[in-house]
Chains A and B, each alone.
Chain A
Amino acid sequence: MSELLQSTSAAPHRLSAATPRTVYMATRGLFKSYQKGDLGIPVLQGIDMQVYQGEFLSIVGQSGCGKSTLLHLLGTLDKPDAGEVQFEGHRIDNLPAASRDLLRNRHFGMIFQFYHLLPELSTLENVLLPAWIAESTLGYWRRRRHYRQRARQLLEMTHLSHRLKHKPSELSGGEMQRAAIARALMLEPQVLLADEPTGNLDRSTGEQIMHLLRELNREQKLTIVMVTHDSWIAEQADRVVRLVEGRIQSAE
C-alpha cells in the first residue's frame, strides 16, 4: 500500500513545485480524543502540519485514523484537547463562538461526503444559504440581486443551471456534490475544506468532482484541503499528507 502511494505520488501531472510557499493554515501539536464511557479513545496524537496558500492538499488515511476530525478542527467545528489551529497567523481554535461562526461563514467553505444539502430548499436556495446566514433580513433584501446573480453564476460553473428549482432529492449524487461545492463557494471563501467529497460517488462522477476541484484550485487560486481514504483520489492533489493512527506518517 505504501509503495503504491510512493509510486503514484511521483506522478508527472503534479505541480506542487509551482505553488507559492506561504503558510496559510497551520496546526501545532493537535490532540483530540473521544470519550466512550470511561474510556478516552485518542484520535489525533500531536499533529503538526501546514497548509500553504493556493495549494491543493489532500490528507489520506484509513477509516478511523482521525482525518475527518482533523478537518473539523481546521474548520473550527470542533475544539482540540490540546494544541492550536492557526489561520493567517492567528490562533482560531480558542476564539469565541461568534467569531468561529463568522470564520466558517465567510472564510471557510465546506463540502461533505453526504453532500448535506437541506432537503426543504431548492438547489438555488441551498446555494444561497450561506448568504442568508450572513445577512440580516433587510441586508439580504437590499443585496438580493447581487447574491442571486452570484448563486446563478456558481451553478452555471458547476453545470447545474437547469436544476435551480429542483429539490436535493431530485438530484443525482454528482449533482448534489456540485451544488454543495457551489454553496461552499457562495461567499468567496479563502479555504475549501472537503471531507471525502467523492466518497459516495462512482469513479467517473468522482473524477468529475475532482476535475472541478482542480480547476477551482488552478484558476481561482483557491486553497483546498481534502480528506479522503482513496489514495488514487488523493494523488490528484498537489501534496499528500498521510495520516496513520492519529499521527502524520509522511508529508511532502
Chain B
Amino acid sequence: MYKLLLCLRYLRTRYIALISIVSVTLGVATMIVVNSVMAGFTHEMQARLNGILGDLVFESRSMDGAPDAAAHMAKIREIAGDSIVGISPTVHVPSLMYIDVNGQLLTKQVTLVGIDPATYASVSQFGQYLQHPANRQQLNFQLRAGGYDTFDRQAVDTGQLIERTQMKTAGWPRRREMARQKQERRQLQQRLALDPSAQAGASNPFATDQPSGTDFDPATETHVGVVLGIGTCGYRAADGSDRFVALPGDDVRISFPKASLPPEAISEHYTIVDLYESKMSEYDSNFVFLPLANLQASRGMIDPETGIGKFTSIQIKLQPGADAAQVRDRLRNAFPAQYYQISTWRDKQGPLLAAVQMETAVLNVLLFMIIAVAGFGILAIFYMIVVEKTRDIGILKSLGASGYGVMGIFLVYGLSLGIVGAGAGLALGLAFESQINQIADLLGRVTGQPVFDPSVYYFYKIPTIVSPFTVSWICVGAISIAVLASVMPARRAARLHPVRALRYE
C-alpha cells in the first residue's frame, strides 16, 4: 500500500526524476518516428515494386529471347496453375531514345518493354500509373484527343500541388499544332533555300529523316504508340513544378538491336500516347512501353514460317497469400536453369529491400543506445534520491516496513517513471508522426533547406506506417530499462541499516 502511495507522492514532488526521464521520452519518440517512416518507405516501395514487377518473373537468359510464349505459359500453368491469377509475356531490350526538343536532339538510354495490352494488366498495376483516364481503363496505344491529367493524381496533399500546365495540350491538339509549326518551318526553309546565304544552315535531323516523300501526314496519322516513363521525358523544375520535353502527341525515335546475327541496329519512329508515372524513379526514368507484337516484328523475333514470336520474360501474378518462393522453386525444377532464370520480385529487388531493412536495424540499435544512456541517468538520479531519502527509509523501517517493501517503493517508482516517460514519448512520437509533413515543411522554411525533397523520391509526402507491434516493443523496452536502472538504487535502499538511516543527517 505505502509503496504505491509513496512512489506516487515522489513522482509528484521530485521533478528532477521527471527531468531524468526526458531522454527516455525523446528516445521513445524518435524510435517511433524513425520506425514508422522506415516502415512507410518500405511499404510504399514494396507496393510499387510489386505493382510493376508482378510476383514472379520468368526470364529467358538470352537477350534475344526464347520462342513461343504460349507454350511456355501453358507449361507454367500446368505446373502452378492453381496459384496463378495472371500471366503475360514481355520483351525487354535496352535501347536509345531520341527526343526532338526545338530542333535539338536529346538522346536517352531506356529499356524498351514490349507488352501484351490484353494480358499485361493482369500481372501489373501498370495501367493505374497512366495519365489518361481512358487509358487507365484499357490501354490501346492510340493517341487520345485530349483530357490527360494535369495534376499528379497520386499526390495526397493536393493543396501544394502545381498544375502540369503542359499536359493541357497533350494529345491530338498538340500533334496537330506541332505538325502545323513543322509545316511552317519547312515552308520557311524552302523560302530560305532560295536565299544563297542560308544554304549552309543547320538541317533538322528529323526533317531529313522524315518520310516526307511518303504520304504520312503527322497532323492526322500517328506512328506506333508508345508509353514513356515520366522521368524519361520530364524533369522537376526548381519551383517544384513538373516540366516535359515531350508530351503525348509528340514523336520520338528509338534505336535498338535486332535479334539476328550479325546484330543490326534499327531505328523506328513512335508516337507518344501516354506517360507512365509509378513514382519509382528507377522505372519512371528508364522504361518505355510499346505493344509486344510491334516490338517482336521490328526486332525480327517472329518466325516467318510459323508466325510464333519470341519473348524475353513472362510476368506472373500469383493469388494473394500464395507462397511466391515455393512456386518459384517448382518452376525452377521444371525448366532448365541454363536457359531460364526464375525469380520472385523480392529476389529481383533483394539488395534494395535488404538495404532498407539494414538501415532500420542499425537506426534502432543506435536509438536504443540513447534510451540505455538515459537508463544510466535514471540510475544516477535514483541513487541521489535514495541518499536524500535515507532518513525516510529509516523511518519506514522503524515503522515495520520490510527491506523488500522499501525496495518495492523504488522499483515501482522506476516503473512508473518508465511508464510516464514512455507514455510521453509515445504521445510525442505519434503526434510528430501524424504531423511529420507539416513539420518537415516548417523545418524546410526555417532552415531554407528542404528536408524532404519530393524530386528525389517522387513522393509528395513522407509515407509513415505505425506498427502497433513495434511501438509496444519500444515502450516495453524503455520501461524495462527504467526498471533495470532502478534496481541498484532500490537494493541499496533495501539494505540500509535502520539505525544508521535514522541517524543520517
Q: Which A residues, 121 to 153, have Cβ-Cβ distances below 8 Å to chain B? A: 121, 125, 129-130, 132-137, 139-140
Which B359-406 residues have C-beta < 8 A from chain A? 391-392, 394-403, 405
Q: How far is the CB of A30 from chain B (nearest CB, A)?
A: 15
B465: A residues at CB distance < 8 A: none
A72 touches B395 (CB 8 A): no
A–B pairs, 30, beta carbons within 8 Å: A69-B499, A72-B499, A75-B398, A97-B402, A97-B403, A98-B402, A101-B397, A102-B400, A104-B399, A106-B400, A110-B398, A110-B399, A116-B394, A116-B502, A118-B395, A118-B396, A120-B9, A120-B13, A129-B396, A129-B399, A130-B400, A132-B2, A132-B5, A133-B1, A133-B2, A133-B399, A133-B400, A133-B405, A134-B400, A136-B1
Instruction: Flag whether A215 is at the interface (Cβ < 8 A).
Output: no
Within 8 A of A (CB), among B1-43: 1-2, 4-6, 9-10, 13
Please state if A132 and B398 are interface contacts (CB–CB under 8 Å): no
Which chain A positions have C-beta within 8 A of B54? none
The chain B residue sitting closest to A129, CB to CB, is B399
A residues near B499, Cβ cutoff 8 Å? 69, 72, 77-78
**From residue 193 to 216 of chain A, which have CB atoms closer than 8 A to chain B?**
none
Residue count of chain B within 8 Å CB distance of chain A = 25
**A-side contacts of B400, CB under 8 Å:** 101-106, 130, 133-134
- CB-CB < 8 A to B498: which residues of A? 77-78
Cβ contact of A104, chosen from B398, B405, B502, cutoff 8 A: B398
Cβ-based interface call for A112 (8 A):
yes
20 additional contacts (CB under 8 A) given A116-B398, A130-B400, A133-B1: A72-B499, A75-B398, A78-B498, A98-B402, A101-B400, A104-B398, A104-B399, A106-B400, A116-B391, A116-B394, A120-B10, A129-B396, A129-B399, A130-B399, A132-B1, A132-B2, A132-B5, A133-B396, A133-B405, A137-B1
Least CB distance, A74 to chain B, in whole angstroms: 12
Q: Which residues of B contact A (CB under 8 A)?
A: 1-2, 4-6, 9-10, 13, 391-392, 394-403, 405, 497-499, 502
Q: How distant is the Cα of A106 from the Cα of B10 in the complex, in angstroms?
A: 26
B contact residues around A98 at 8 Å (CB): 402
Give Cα A119 to B14, complex, Å.
12
* A72-98, CB < 8 A from B: 72, 75, 77-78, 97-98
Name the 4 nearest CB pairs between A and B, nearest first.
Answer: A105-B400, A132-B2, A104-B400, A132-B1
Majority-rule SS of B interface residues: helix
Set of chain B residues within 8 Å of A106, measured between Cβ atoms = 400
In Å, the complex CA distance between A69 and B400 comes to 18
Cα A117 to Cα B394 in complex, Å, equals: 11
Contact of A101 with B401 at beta-carbon distance under 8 Å, contacts A112-B502, A137-B1 already known: yes
Chain B residues with CB below 8 A from A120, complex form: 6, 9-10, 13
> A110: nearest residue on chain B (CB-CB)?
B398
Instruction: Determine the residue in chain B with the shortest Cβ distance to A131.
Output: B1
Interface positions of A (Cβ within 8 A of B): 69, 72, 75, 77-78, 97-98, 101-106, 110, 112, 116-121, 125, 129-130, 132-137, 139-140, 183
Contacts of A105 in B (CB 8 A): 399-401
A contact residues around B391 at 8 Å (CB)? 116
Residues on the B chain within 8 Å of A117, using CB: 395
**Which residues of A have CB within 8 Å of B1?**
132-133, 135-137, 139-140
Chain A's closest residue to B9 (CB) is A120
**Judging by beta carbons under 8 Å apart, are B402 and A101 in contact?**
yes
Chain B hits for A75, CB < 8 A = 398
Q: In the complex the two chains form, what is the Cα distance from A136 to B1 in whole Å?
A: 5
List residues of chain B with CB within 8 A of the CB of A125.
5
Contact pick for B398, options A69, A77, A119, A136, CB 8 Å: A77
Residues of A within 8 Å of B5, CB to CB, are 125, 132
Report the separation of the CA atoms of residues A121 and B4 in the bound assembly, to the nearest whole angstrom.
13
CA distance A110 to B9 in the complex (A): 24
**Chain A CB within 10 Å, residue with most, of B1, B395, B398, B399:** B399
Which B residues are in CB contact (< 8 Å) with A97? 402-403
Query: A189 CA to B209 CA in the complex, in Å?
Result: 114
CA distance A4 to B204 in the complex (A): 131
| Shortest distance between the CB of A124 and any CB in chain B (Å) | 12
